Amino acid sequence: MLLHRPTIGLFDSGVGGLTVLRALLDHIPNANYLYFGDTARLPYGSKSAATIAHYAVGAVRYLQEQGAELLIIACNTATALAFNEIKAAATVDVIGVVEPGANAAAMASSNKKVVVIGTDATISSHAYRRALEARGVEVREKACPLFVPLVEEGWVEHPVTEQVAKIYLSEAFSRNAHETGAGDADVLLLGCTHYPLIKPLLRRVAPDHIAIVDSAESTAQEVLRQLGNSPTSNPATLADRDESKLAAQLKFFATDSAEKFTRMGTRFLGLPVEDVTHVDLKE
């Protein structure tokens, strides 16, 4: 029996985490979602771990005040650099994007060799490397700093983006990759929540035998698994619910322009972004 609709809070430094929300909506349509984008203080990648933890803790506390019963850190940088601090500050369960993504990649790889791509900050943290190596997987890491600005420019199918992707992936899967592990990798793990928007392009560019694992999708699957084990929310009962009751309720919070968030967020979510509230978190 579904006792009540779960209220799930998502935190990201900007709009990239909306790809996690999009995956969640596919799997868990009978929930209330609160999304917090710290758009006034992005990018997080150039900031210290202490600063990122400070920002993230403030945001997740705000989400809890708004009623979040489960927190998703839909930001690879914050998960990689501040997950323990966030978890310590939260009074509800917290799920990051790194562990679900690493788990899905390890399961998808037949030869236990994976290439991870992400931003400079995420790759430099080696969070995915540690998570994958703990699962017995060899890892090749590749920072792809141009992807985020290209995606935010809307160039998801632009020839420039395709050319950049060819360069990045040729380096990641090159023969000299054998020297640093995962030279004959069979999985490409997308370690950035912007990257699902260029997944079709990456599929065309990547070697045919490579499976692509999306950490946003993997995180949604982990949330579904956890809610399935919760006595207050059983997604298995969805088929018995009236369709009119399943539409998710979405609220958005942004620390910068609500108008800008609405415009860019609609592209990332693939749905109209409405009900955006400007939030000014005190330092």
User: Which residues are catalytic, by number?
Assistant: 75, 192
**Three-class DSSP labels, 189-244:** EECCCCHHHHHHHHHHHCCCCCEEEEHHHHHHHHHHHHHHCECCECHHHHHHCCHH
CA dist 174 and 183 (Å) reads: 7
CA dist 209 and 179 (Å) reads: 21
Q: What is the largest CA-CA distance in the chain?
A: 56
CA dist 259 and 279 (Å) reads: 13
- Burial letters for 23-51: b for 16+ Cβ neighbours within 10 Å, e otherwise? bbbebbebbbbbbbbbbbbbebbebebee
Q: Tokens 């590749």 — which residue? A: 142
**Three-class DSSP labels, 164-194:** HHHHHHHHHCCHHHHHHCCCCCCEEEECCCC
CA dist 197 and 214 (Å) reads: 10
